[in-house]
Amino acid sequence: MNRFAGKVVLVTGAGRGIGKAIARRFAAEGAKLALLSDVEADLRQTADELAAEGVEAERYIVDVSDERRVEAAVAAAANRFGRIDVLVNNAGIAWEEPVLDIKPDRWKKIIDVNLNGMFWVAQATAKRMAEQGGGAIVNMASTNGLVGEAGYAHYNASKGGVVLLTKTMAVELGCKGIRVNAVCPGYIQTPMSEAIDDAEFVERYVRDKIPLGRVGRPEDVAGVFAFLASDDAAFITGETIVVDGGQLAF
């Protein structure tokens, strides 16, 4: 497939994990890439790997919770490539801690990155898309934005906000030719999840909760992002697609 030949795709959180897998998937389908992350070493490695494969990719170091830096990075990407056709709004963080132990700074940090940051990037990019006559935005939500999970009150709240932000933007921006959807992954094995969960927990989780009998891979999620951003999904907007191996089917 070459669905994104000549298209410009902006990916946040592109340095590792799901974001890196998504960037690689779009690159494989012909896209030019604007890669954003606040972790310079990871982002440089991703960009260098793609460049070595002949992919046109620019990197921008930015904390998505800083709206001024977001605006500057999106403007720079739009100026560099001339347009932005697709936004993959992926950047996010998570910690596990009981609701009674969450400190104000920890709550604020997760909301600032996962929800506020997603809004700043979406707003800045959508303004350019509206001027150019359309585009596609795919936000990273989570099954944790659809059901509660103990130990993740701040993360769950942020992802629940992403789900309704997605629907609202779809309603408002459809008339401008902009589609807005979200992906809700379940348990995906990434550097972030590996830092939280040990092997025993993962084995038990898979056995008890995932009908397909394995954790998800970043590539499982990347394909769904590519579909929702493509013309194959031209009449889909305001949707949240669950990618969880059947977990929420229980």
Can you tell me the distance from the alpha carbon of 245 to that of 227, in angstroms, rounded to the nearest whole number?
A: 18
Domain presence at residue 250: no
| Active-site annotation holder among 152, 155, 187, 205 | 155
The CATH number for 179's domain is 3.40.50.720
Over range 154-158, report the average pLDDT. Answer: 98
Confidence bin at 250 (pLDDT 50/70/90): confident
Over the stretch 5-46, which tens digit does the pLDDT of each residue have?
999 999 999 999 999 999 999 999 999 999 999 999 999 999
Query: What is residue 192's predicted lDDT score, i.e. its pLDDT?
Result: 74
pLDDT tens per residue, range 81-136: 999 999 999 999 999 999 999 999 999 999 999 999 999 999 999 999 999 999 99
Residue 2 included in any domain: no
29 within domain boundaries: yes
Looking at residue 134, what is its pLDDT? 98
Is residue 249 in some structural domain?
no
CA distances from 136 to 4, 43, 56, 88, 105 (A): 12, 23, 20, 9, 33
| Tokens 């992919």 found at | 55
Q: How far apart are CA 176 and CA 218, in angstroms?
A: 31
183-220, pLDDT tens digit by residue?
999 999 987 788 778 889 999 999 999 999 999 999 99
- pLDDT the model gives residue 193: 80
CA gap 32, 4 in Å, rounded: 8
Any catalytic annotation for residue 152? Answer: no
How many helices and strands (H and E) does the chain possess?
Answer: 9, 7
The pairing of beta strand 86-89 with beta strand 135-140 = parallel
Task: Give the total number of structural domains in the chain.
Answer: 1
* pTM greater than 0.85: yes
Q: Is residue 3 part of a domain?
A: no
Q: What range does the domain containing 146 cover? A: 8-244
Structural domain includes residue 1 = no
Tally the residues of the chain: 250
User: Contact 63/39 with Cβ under 8 angstroms?
Assistant: no
Mean pLDDT of the chain: 96
Residue 140 inside a domain? The answer is yes
Identify which has the larger pLDDT, 193 or 222. 222
What is the reported pLDDT for 170? 98
The pLDDT value given to residue 196: 77
pLDDT at 36: 98
Is residue 103 domain-resident?
Answer: yes
pLDDT value of position 229: 98
| The pLDDT of residue 31 | 98
Over 90: is that where the pLDDT of 1 sits? no
Q: What is residue 195's predicted lDDT score, i.e. its pLDDT?
A: 78
Residues 6+ apart with CB under 8 A from 123: none
